[in-house]
Structure 1
Amino acid sequence: MPANPARPPSVSRRRHLLAMGLGGAALATLSRTAPAQAPAEPSPSASALPLPLTAQTTEGPYYFDAGKVRQDITEGQPGVPLEIRFAVVDAAGRPLAGKRVDLWHCNAAGVYSGYAGQTDDHDQRVSTKGQTFLRGSQPVDATGTAVFHTIYPGWYEGRATHLHMKVLDGSRAMLTTQCFLPDALSEYLYTQLSAYRRKRVRQTLNSNDGIALQAGDTTLGAVREANGRYIATLTLVVDPSATSKAERFPGPGAMMGGPPPGPPPDHGKLVALEGEARVAAIVPGVKL
């Protein structure tokens, strides 16, 4: 069956945001996170100072090399179309042409492909063994760019909205990191669109996700609205001599049927914020 993805919200977005209690502050935030153009290729002569390296983060339990070199990783998954554009450079701003970017993330329901033992919104165990949706690889071109076509990711307990990626030189991972997306936009999509709507309220936001807080600004993606899709951009500044720390998550074993690790053990202690406190946590610069 061909995909029938939801389109980005129309001009009625303002009315819905007001109904959610986010109002003008959220709209201003979406505007701040939506540059008019994708970031230009960094110029080595633009600054004498080296660019800050993109923070390494945990790989997480759901990575495997699907062997899929492709731009479109959707595989019919429902959701809002999202184009992801990575600029992959070294600290001097030079493009790392010929390297490879792997991208993987959960679907609108918060489930990853390729694994058994995941939990859906109804606390039922689900299996996606043998599936490869929302996974793929792209070579970095001569301008330092790697582009993917996918859907806006959903969420699951214990984590803020995020994408996973690796930058590889052959079999060596130079960077393993995550990209965090604006909470104000995520909040709108998750509450207004049926593909994303859940019976639970998100507890974990960018402002209280431990991985996001530790990684910092170098992992915050910028999102802008385009015709029929959103476009997310992030510059990945990589040390070409680095090697990502190997993690001991159960990869093939989990794919064969054993459940992968769940959310961080303290996620149950978090309480979903409401009202003004939630707006303050979601919208940068808003204070109670």
Structure 2
Amino acid sequence: MTDKGTTPTSRRALLLTAGSAGIAALTAACARPATPGRAAPAPSGATPGCVLAVTSGAGPNYSGRGRTRSDVTEGREGVPLRLELTVVRVKDGCRPLAGAAVDIWQADASGVYSEGKQTWLRGVQITDAAGRCAFETIVPGWYAGLAPHIHFKVRPDERSETTSQFFLPDAFLKDVYGRQPYARRKAPRDPNGNDDRYRAAGGKMTLTPAQDGTGYRAAFTVGLA
């Protein structure tokens, strides 16, 4: 299945200065998850100080709120990726949001989404007191000429939500797609080049993966309006 019907619902993106050493410490100091549904990320590479998310539609592959869990792989083959998120409220000086539900869903290495009763590569985490949560997943595969991506939805409460997606750098994707199991298919020469959503995001929603053993980890601070 593809995301052909997905278009950006907002093209605004703003990089803001974090404003205090407390925010810098927030995005740098973390720990491994202690209990299911309350995962806190470990330190990793460069993290934007506070990003107002470029929103986009959920696409046809969203199947509702997933299972509460940190590891969403369910044995799917692929290069491991630990996704470490911090959710903040931009209008309140990048105040961390505790208790927000963060939902992710993505394609597997073959560019396929789980359907029906399948739940692989789908899951929810609840942010901790510092607004943090983490997911153990894999690098998503490509499909339909769209930029490879990881969808996410943040629900700070029962009345509101923000939906968007994370992208990955071209050079990183080309390297990963040369490995198995991704190399079973011929990867596009320019993984991100034909997707207007990627261009609309202007790099604001692109992760910066850092090597972590046999896989990678990527940290990102998501700012809600």
> TM-score higher than 0.5 here?
yes
Show CA shifts across 1:75-125 (max 9, x none).
0101111100111111111101111100010000000001xxxxxxxxxxx
Question: Displacement, 1:38?
Answer: 4.1
Question: Aligned equivalents of 2:69 and 2:200: distance in 1?
Answer: 31
Q: 1:108 to 1:201 in 2, by over 3 A?
A: closer
Q: Is the 8 A contact 1:41 1:144 kept in 2?
A: no
- The AA in structure 2 aligned to 1:134 is L
Question: Aligned equivalents of 2:66 and 2:194: distance in 1?
Answer: 34
Q: Is the 8 A contact 1:157 1:202 kept in 2?
A: no
Q: Say which of 183, 186, 189 aligns to 2:176.
A: 189
- Find the structure with the greater CA-based Rg: 1
Counterpart residue number, 1:279? none
After superposing on structure 2, the runs of 4+ consecutive aligned residues of structure 1 that deviate more than 6 Å are none
Question: Displacement, 1:198?
Answer: 4.0
The answer to whether the aligner puts 1:111 opposite 2:112 as a matched pair is: yes
The answer to whether the aligner puts 1:101 opposite 2:102 as a matched pair is: yes
Q: Is the 8 A contact 1:98 1:139 kept in 2?
A: yes
Question: Aligned equivalents of 1:100 and 1:151: distance in 2?
Answer: 21
Show CA shifts across 1:232-259 (max 9, x none).
12211002xxxxxxxxxxxxxxxxxxxx
Q: Percent identity?
A: 39
Q: Is the 8 A contact 1:41 1:87 kept in 2?
A: no
Which ranges of structure 1 fall in alignment gaps of 5 or more residues? Answer: 1-35, 43-50, 115-128, 240-288
Question: Displacement, 1:203?
Answer: 5.5
Counterpart residue number, 1:63? 62
**How many residue pairs are counted as aligned between the two chains?**
181
TM-score w.r.t. length of structure 2: 0.74
User: In proportion to residue count, which structure has more helix?
Assistant: 1
TM-score w.r.t. length of structure 1: 0.58
User: In proportion to residue count, which structure has more strand?
Assistant: 2
Question: Displacement, 1:206?
Answer: 2.5
Counterpart residue number, 1:85? 84
Q: 1:173 to 1:75 in 2, by over 3 A?
A: farther
Q: 1:107 to 1:52 in 2, by over 3 A?
A: closer
Q: 1:96 to 1:39 in 2, by over 3 A?
A: farther
Q: Is the 8 A contact 2:44 2:219 kept in 1?
A: no
Q: Is the 8 A contact 2:88 2:224 kept in 1?
A: yes
Q: Is the 8 A contact 2:47 2:220 kept in 1?
A: no
- The AA in structure 1 aligned to 2:82 is E
The answer to whether the aligner puts 1:158 opposite 2:122 as a matched pair is: no
What does 1:1-288 correspond to in 2, within 5 Å?
Answer: 37-38=44-45, 51-91=50-90, 92-114=93-115, 129-191=116-178, 193-202=179-188, 205-239=191-225
Q: Is the 8 A contact 1:57 1:215 kept in 2?
A: no
- Root-mean-square deviation (CA, aligned residues, Å) is 2.1
Question: Aligned equivalents of 2:103 and 2:148: distance in 1?
Answer: 18
Q: Is the 8 A contact 1:74 1:150 kept in 2?
A: yes
Question: Aligned equivalents of 1:230 and 1:72: distance in 2?
Answer: 14
Q: 1:94 to 1:76 in 2, by over 3 A?
A: same
Show CA shifts across 1:169-205 (max 9, x none).
34444210010011111111112x2211144441653
